[in-house]
Structure 1
Amino acid sequence: MSEVKISAEPRTEFGKGGARRTRRAGKVPAVLYGHGEAPRHIALPAREFAAAIRHGGMTQVFNIEISDGSAALALPKAIQRDPIKDTFDHVDLLVVRRGEKVTVEIPVQLTGDAARDTLVMTESNTIAVLADATKLPEHLEASIEGLEAGSQVKAADVKLPAGVELAADPELVVAIVSVAQDQTIEPEGTEEAPAEEPEPAAAEA
């Protein structure tokens, strides 16, 4: 994952009112913390931050240049979004150092096709790995090629790049392959009964 340079400025207003004013100015309220340093409240340009997150997600490394002359490398730790506007309300950023190893949840992508007449159910979209903070993979891959019903893909089956170690439980289930159910089968007892023939009219005396 490549680094993204982004500018920031110190944030002096706090609370809900200050955060709203920051967002109205086209910026995202954020806090930088880690390595025993006092938390620093900053504001990030919303458009640039959103573009970087769309590309790199939670593994995106930010090279933050603050207007007071300081700088920091950081990873997104927590992001609060507005579910209606799809904007960012607040970001927690974890300060990291080059060569430092961190534990991060990485998305898992399934590759290949399971056997015919099977259904693949994802149990976990991410797994935790230990890797260099500035060399995090964007995603990991696990093959389901040819897997029969009853098979499982576990964390231990996920392909890891060089320098990346598994931090999750190796037995963590990532996906399950099961028999595909035929949804067109009609339940029993739904067939209509044949219509009864009318009885002949009684002969007149």
Structure 2
Amino acid sequence: MSETILTATSGRATGSANARRQRSAESIPAVVYGRGMDPMSISVERRDLRVALSGSAGINTILDLTVDGDVYPAIVKELQRDPVRRTVQHVDFIQIDLGSEITVSVPVRLEGEAKAVQDENGLVDLARTELEVSTTPRNIPDEIVVDISEMTMETTITISDLTMPAGVTAVGEDDWAVVTVLTMRTPVLDEEDAAAAEAAEGEEGEGVDAEGGDADAGGGEPAGNDAE
């Protein structure tokens, strides 16, 4: 994985009002920290960040974060987004050691066609769209590919079943499900359920009529009224 240069500006003014002004000018407030350094408040241009993360590695792109002439090997630790517009509001960068392992989330992609599942009216379900992996920064895979061609209705692909790239270790329990199979309802089952529901409603209605008939048979004015 190649590094991407991203230029940042240090010495930004902190505070909510200043952050809003920055965002209005298409500059995103950010912070970089890690490897024993004190957290540094910086800002990056929105367009520059978008371009830097537009490659196949996405948010896991290794960045040469350049601040006032100093270069910090870094990756994005967190992107904070506006809850409605989904625009990036703040970025946390973490400085990394290119020779040490780190833990990152990598997207999972399904490959192949599960014909045995389709023939049984089943549906392949991706239980984990992302998977945490541990590896060195330059060895971070763009994605984890899972072949579903041999899946049947009884198949569950777990973490232990995955074939990981060399030097990459999945983080999690071996029995955690990654891909499962869902059983879809068939028209026959739907018709049977509908018929059973109609039958149950009919029986309930007959019971109400019988109770009503008993009440009518026993009705009438009390004997004391006749005496009067």
Per the normalisation by structure 1, the TM-score is 0.85
**Distance of aligned partners of 1:9 and 1:54 in 2 relative to their CA distance in 1, 3 Å threshold:** same
> How far is the alpha carbon of 1:167 from its aligned partner?
2.3
> How far is the alpha carbon of 1:134 from its aligned partner?
2.4
For residue 157 of structure 2, the aligned residue among 153, 158, 175 is 153
Report if aligned partners of 2:12, 2:43 keep a CA contact under 8 Å in 1. no
* 1:120 equivalenced with 2:124 (yes/no): yes
Alignment partners' CA distance in 2, 1:171 and 1:30: 38
Alignment partners' CA distance in 1, 2:69 and 2:181: 54
Alignment partners' CA distance in 1, 2:76 and 2:185: 41
State the Cα deviation string for residues 123-174 of structure 1 (Å, max 9, x = none). 1111221111122111011111131112101112222111212222221111
In the alignment, what sits opposite 1:99? 99
In the alignment, what sits opposite 2:63? 62
* 1:133 equivalenced with 2:137 (yes/no): yes
State the Cα deviation string for residues 56-90 of structure 1 (Å, max 9, x = none). 33311111111x22110111111111233331100
Equivalenced residue count is 191
Kindly indicate whether structure 1 or structure 2 has the higher relative contact order, using CA contacts under 8 Å at least 6 residues apart. 1
Alignment partners' CA distance in 2, 1:176 and 1:133: 30
> How far is the alpha carbon of 1:119 from its aligned partner?
0.8
> How far is the alpha carbon of 1:11 from its aligned partner?
3.4
> How far is the alpha carbon of 1:102 from its aligned partner?
0.5
Per the normalisation by structure 2, the TM-score is 0.77
Report if aligned partners of 1:150, 1:178 keep a CA contact under 8 Å in 2. no
Alignment partners' CA distance in 2, 1:155 and 1:53: 28
**Distance of aligned partners of 1:17 and 1:148 in 2 relative to their CA distance in 1, 3 Å threshold:** same
Match of 2:102, as an amino acid? V
Give unpaired runs (5+ residues) of structure 2. Answer: 203-228
> How far is the alpha carbon of 1:190 from its aligned partner?
5.4
**Distance of aligned partners of 1:11 and 1:25 in 2 relative to their CA distance in 1, 3 Å threshold:** farther
Decide which structure has greater strand share: 1
Matched position secondary structure for 1:79:
strand
- Aligned alpha-carbon RMSD (Å): 2.0
Report if aligned partners of 2:9, 2:42 keep a CA contact under 8 Å in 1. yes
For residue 165 of structure 1, the aligned residue among 169, 174, 192 is 169
Alignment partners' CA distance in 2, 1:59 and 1:98: 13
Match of 2:15, as an amino acid? G
Identical-pair percentage: 29
**Structure of greater Rg:** 2
Match of 2:179, as an amino acid? A
